[in-house]
Chains A and B, each alone.
Chain A
Amino acid sequence: EAQVTQNPRYLITVTGKKLTVTCSQNMNHEYMSWYRQDPGLGLRQIYYSMNVEVTDKGDVPEGYKVSRKEKRNFPLILESPSPNQTSLYFCASRPFPQGEAFFGQGTRLTVV
């Protein structure tokens, strides 16, 4: 089944403790991105990647890092999480930039 898989689905952590949210897609898509969704603000892009080893900042990249060492994986790294990064995070992939976007099931992160 074609899908985008994120892990974990839910995470509660403390300020400053590094964490990684994984994202994997099995559709051989070149284009992957990370979004955060906050009430009243809609989805905002954090980072995107157009192919292996090619990443770029989105609208709200501060406090986040990504890597794209393999085509299928695009992890989101929070080196020192802060409470303002409490949010619902989505990973998405597309076969090409104009193509349909497939979203993961989301990761709800709470930083206390």
Chain B
Amino acid sequence: KNQVEQSPQSLIILEGKNCTLQCNYTVSPFSNLRWYKQDTGRGPVSLTIMTFSENTKSNGRYTATLDADTKQSSLHITASQLSDSASYICVVSAQAAGNKLTFGGGTRVLVKP
């Protein structure tokens, strides 16, 4: 069964500090991995998409890494801001009919001043 597990479930960090979120997946055959940011009560917004051959991809202060061999990904947030407070969702796409997306449960990040 395809699964995406994220850790931690939640974390609190001080404004200006860095943090790293983890994602482990068992989706097969792998197509791509995405990180989304979801503000409370709003739809997810894409941060990065990585294919099998990409090890790292950045979007401003967000940097995602992918290790396709160990089936792990991380999302690093640099110099956190209050607006980074949100849920971050790891999503893996399978190479199957419809390229179905499997969603992780998300990591809820709270940035405090």
**Chain A residues packing against B (C-beta within 8 Å):** 4, 31, 33, 35, 40-45, 48, 50, 56, 58, 88, 90, 92, 97-98, 100-106, 108
Smallest beta-carbon distance A89→chain B, Å: 10
Q: Nearest residue in B to A91 (C-beta to C-beta)? A: B43
The 18 listed contacts between A and B (C-beta, < 8 Å) are A42-B89, A42-B104, A44-B103, A45-B101, A90-B43, A92-B43, A97-B98, A100-B34, A100-B46, A101-B44, A101-B46, A101-B101, A102-B46, A103-B43, A104-B43, A105-B43, A106-B43, A108-B41
Q: Nearest residue in B to A44 (C-beta to C-beta)? A: B103
Rounded to whole angstroms, the CA-CA distance of A50 and B99 in the bound complex is 10
From 59 to 111 in chain B, residues with beta carbon under 8 angstroms from any chain A beta carbon are: 89, 91, 93, 97-101, 103-106
Smallest beta-carbon distance B5→chain A, Å: 10
Rounded to whole angstroms, the CA-CA distance of A33 and B91 in the bound complex is 15
Using A35-B103, A48-B100, A97-B93 as known contacts, list a sample of 5 further A-B pairs with CB atoms less than 8 Å apart, ordered by residue number in A: A33-B101, A42-B89, A98-B31, A101-B46, A105-B43
Rounded to whole angstroms, the CA-CA distance of A35 and B89 in the bound complex is 14
By the criterion CB–CB under 8 Å, are A56 and B99 in contact? no
What is the total number of residues of chain B having a CB less than 8 Å from a CB of chain A?
22
Rounded to whole angstroms, the CA-CA distance of A44 and B103 in the bound complex is 7
By the criterion CB–CB under 8 Å, are B105 and A40 in contact? yes
By the criterion CB–CB under 8 Å, are B101 and A98 in contact? no
Which chain B residues lie closer than 8 Å to A90 at the CB level?
A: 43-44
By the criterion CB–CB under 8 Å, are A106 and B104 in contact? no
Going nearest first, the 7 A-B pairs with the smallest beta carbon separation are A103-B43, A97-B99, A43-B103, A42-B103, A42-B105, A100-B46, A103-B44
Which chain B residues lie closer than 8 Å to A31 at the CB level?
A: 98
Rounded to whole angstroms, the CA-CA distance of A21 and B100 in the bound complex is 22
By the criterion CB–CB under 8 Å, are B105 and A41 in contact? yes
Q: Which of A40, A56, A103 contacts B45 (CB 8 A)?
A: A103
Q: Which of A42, A98, A104 has most B Cβ within 10 Å?
A: A42
Rounded to whole angstroms, the CA-CA distance of A104 and B31 in the bound complex is 23
Rounded to whole angstroms, the CA-CA distance of A42 and B98 in the bound complex is 19
